[in-house]
Copies of this chain bind each other. A is one copy, B any other.
Amino acid sequence: MSLKHAILASLSKKPQTGYDLSRQISGSIGFYWPASHQQIYKELAALEKCGWLGFKEVRQDEKPDKKIYRVTREGLAELKSWIEEETELAASKDALLIKLFAAQLVKPEIILAVFEEQRKKREARLKKYLEIESHYTGKKLGVDAKLEHLSVRRGILYERAWAKWAEETVEFLRTL
């Protein structure tokens, strides 16, 4: 659905290769729109075919050749009109909640271990967000940097909400 638009948005700021995109996507954008390099190359080919992207090939000596993609006029128009379209609520598919739903099938220790494992992962992610945030605080930021900062803020607030919820939940699970 909107990996296409994530790619358009990123390339609209700066022409890049598929490789660059997949690197970037495992960083900032990737937290809220993960994608494999295979999927990215596929979408790039599709976007080029429908005229929203163009590219130029760059020969390199010591490294493999590469294709630098940029957004076309049509692509930019599409991106703008997509922004104005209605935005559906993001579906939050979470296997953890299914496990919680079926918690009675297994011993309490097991479901508590599942939560503890998840807590560690969440905590690690929060730490990463906070580290990224530290690069933004205390400086005067341009608009683009401020927008990126805000997307990191969402991550931080979500992780804190998760931690609070997990506390409530674990407290109950311990009574089983």
Binding site for B on A (CB under 8 A): 1-2, 5-6, 8-10, 12, 29, 31-34, 76, 79-80, 83-84, 86-106, 110-111, 114, 117-118, 121-122, 125, 143-144, 146-148, 150-151, 153-154, 157-158, 160-162, 164-165, 168-169, 172, 176
Contacts and interface: CB of A to CB of B under 8 A. Distances in A.
7 contacts: A31-B92, A32-B97, A84-B110, A87-B117, A100-B147, A153-B168, A157-B161
Contact of A114 (B29, B84, B146): B84
Contacts of A79: 102, 105
Given A87-B96, A88-B95, A89-B121, 20 more contacts: A2-B93, A5-B95, A29-B98, A32-B93, A33-B93, A33-B98, A79-B105, A83-B111, A83-B114, A89-B122, A90-B92, A90-B95, A92-B92, A100-B151, A104-B143, A154-B162, A154-B169, A157-B164, A157-B165, A158-B161
